[in-house]
Structure 1
Amino acid sequence: MLQSLLFVPTLKDAPKDAEVKSHRLMSRSGLIKQTASGIYTYLPVGYKIIKKIENIIREELDMIGCSELLMPALQPSDLWKESGRWDKYGPELMRLKDRKERDFCLGPTHEEVITDVVRDHINSYKKLPIGLYQIQTKFRDEMRPRFGLMRGREFIMKDLYTFHESEEDLDVWYKKVTQAYINIFNRCGLDIKIVASDTGQIGGDEADEFMVMSEVGEDTITYCMSCSYAANQEHSGLEEGDKCPLCGGTIKTAKGIEVGNIFKLGTKYSETMGAKFLNKDGQQKAMIMGCYGIGISRTLMASVEQHSTEDAILWPEELKPFDVHIIPVNTKDEAQCKLADSIYKELLANGYQVLLDDRQERAGSKFKDADLIGIPVRIVVGKNAVDGNVEFLNRNDGEKVLVSAEDILKYI
């Protein structure tokens, strides 16, 4: 990709309302642009990384036997009244009427819709278990949107729902999805903790959250220094220095960003909405459900928080928008332009995704933009181009080496 053709509007200064590092950097890097409070446009580089997160999720969920579908964002009130949540959900639910004065909402979550889908098509234990997921925009009318993509009124989310004939089978899938989530966040380069939490507005019998440790997190995590115990402070009520309820070790606290959650719903929705099946004995039973979410836009934000300085992003391997960034220092220098173009074509021919900065900008501006865009491997074509040499920079370890352009593939 030629950088002159890539829409990546970097900024010298962050917006005044950008309170946290990730919001400042994503705005300055041209990843996002605020459209209204809590509502953002994902610009090309930001959306490219969003798609990479989505594809990692698809690969891991498909591997454990889940199927992807797409449900409507616009949901009729009738389904929410069946589940009993229409009057209980609160002001975060965005409600509207159509031209015939029928009530609808913009979905913050999809338990009602998925239960309606499954109850009409599955009626026997022979068709269970099943796992269905979607990647879709969600809506919540937050009273105070904040911290960029941390808490918005419109956001991208993956939600998965599983249906089972027994609690034991739900336990098996709960563990399978937990491991899939660990794989997903590891591949996204995120350091996470799994913590016990309250079920909140989703409801159910048990819930866990996947937290990225960060000082800007809205949740306080309590965890043990001696064992694997961890819980949201709202759920545990523990304070720093308390004894661990499992092993008696010392409790520590830290801030965290919730990027995923999993719930054992039980029969909360299937019972009220009539999602039933015939078991092996010919008896009609309510399906047992699990619900599992990942905030995709929030995962993008958490990655920037963990993998950046105040002025530069360094993307994890699987999220990088391009494999290599080629920067000719002076685009008026024929030798530099020819060598940069030659390397660019060679890397493309070998299957690499490459960004070539062909813009007629000062070298300082190019390097600042490159730091903001965050590609880990950089090739700088400067005064040594006349000898066929370029500077190779691996930003992961900071090592710069002068190499022959003929050997560039070996270094990459």
Structure 2
Amino acid sequence: NEAGFHFRHTNYGRDYDTKADWVKDIVAAQDGDLCLECGQPVRTSRGVEVGNIFKLGTKYTEALGGHYLDSDGNQKPVIMGCYGIGSDRLLACVLEEHHDENGICFPISIAPYQVYLVAMLHRAPEVAEVAERIYREAWEAGIEMLLDDREATPGVKFNDADLLGLPIRLTIGPRSLKQGAVELKFRTETESRSIPLDEVIPTLKTEIERLLQESRERAVTVPFPGTSPYT
């Protein structure tokens, strides 16, 4: 409170007769209180500020000489406003909703890459050759793929794949190549399956489209007063 401006333990009309524009009893709204607009119970929940709108007025345009001529030819300062979405805040919100004990679980629609390609024993010529061929063909087919060709243990690579959270993990190793196949696993599932080498790209395209469609179907239409619904 500001000294000499705010007063505590006083009653309007009893302790002073200053004419006020309005006098109200003010309390903090709680769950179950009735809305003054619609009469329905209020529901409170926590939220995150991901966007900002600032009405800047003419503060900066007057200082910098930003003017325009109106229809009567009079010079007036431009009225400014700025709008923005905090991409880092938005990402934090997504990760808060899409993660598990092992790391991130990126939705396919915003994942930095769609597929995490793990090359087991990349120093083995046959593994390196197939991994690099699939990586090249994937990008040519429009599939966004990250190739992990580090000389690291399988456990390190799998843990890092879970931590980064790309939607699909593809694993190539000497054992699977002997069977003419690679291993495919989704980040949100525990089981994996084998895919023949000649079906890798078509299978990835099909699964990526399926995940994108599921993401679109989960979108919720939000009504906004005075406008058409948006998703």
Q: TM class, shorter-chain normalised?
A: 0.5 to 0.7
C-alpha distance in 2 between matches for 1:333 and 1:317 = 31
Instruction: Find the residue that maps to 2:117 and give its secondary structure.
Output: strand
Which residue does the alignment assign to 2:181?
A: 389
Q: State how far apart, in whole Å, the 1-side matches of 2:28 and 2:47 are.
A: 16
- Cα RMSD (Å): 2.8
Equivalent residue runs for 1:7-156 within 5 Å:
none
- Which structure has more relative contact order (CA 8 Å, sep 6+)? It is 1
Question: 2:157 corresponds to which letter in structure 1?
Answer: K
TM-score normalised to the size of structure 2? Answer: 0.64
Q: Output one character per residue of 1:51-96: Cα deviation in whole Å (capped at 9) or x when no partner.
A: xxxxxxxxxxxxxxxxxxxxxxxxxxxxxxxxxxxxxxxxxxxxxx
> In the superposition, relative to structure 1, how do residues 273 and 251 fare at CA in structure 2: closer, same or farther (>3 Å)?
farther
- Kindly indicate whether residue 103 of structure 2 is the aligned counterpart of residue 293 of structure 1: no
Letter in 1 for 2:132: D
1:343 to 134, 148, 153: 134
Structure-2 separation of matches of 1:282 and 1:360: 71
SS at match of 1:352: coil
Q: 1:375, CA displacement in angstroms?
A: 1.5
Alpha-carbon distance change, 384 to 273 in structure 1, aligned in 2, over 3 angstroms: closer
- 2:99 corresponds in structure 1 to 308
1:405 has 2:209 as partner: no
CA distance in 2, matches of 1:381, 1:270: 60
CA distance in 2, matches of 1:298, 1:336: 40
| Structure-2 residue corresponding to 1:322 | 113
Secondary structure at the aligned position of 1:341 is classed as helix
1:409 and 1:384 mapped to 2: Cα distance? Answer: 17
2:166 is aligned with 1:375: yes
Gaps of 5+ in 1: 1-235
In structure 2, runs of 5+ residues without a counterpart are 1-26, 205-231
2:74 is aligned, of 280, 283, 295, to: 283
Structure 1 distance, partners of 2:154, 2:163, is 14
Distance, in Å, in 1 between the alignment partners of 2:159 and 2:115 is: 16
Question: Which residue matches 1:173?
Answer: none
User: Cα gap change, 1:276/1:342 in structure 2, threshold over 3 Å: closer, same or farther?
Assistant: closer
Whose Rg is larger? Answer: 2
| Number of equivalences | 177
- Once the two structures are aligned, what percentage of the paired residues are identical? 39
Higher strand share: 1
Match of 1:239 among 5, 11, 30: 30
Deviations 1:151-191 (A, max 9, x none): xxxxxxxxxxxxxxxxxxxxxxxxxxxxxxxxxxxxxxxxx
Other structure's SS at 1:320 match = coil
Q: TM-score, normalised by structure 1?
A: 0.38
Letter in 2 for 1:407: E
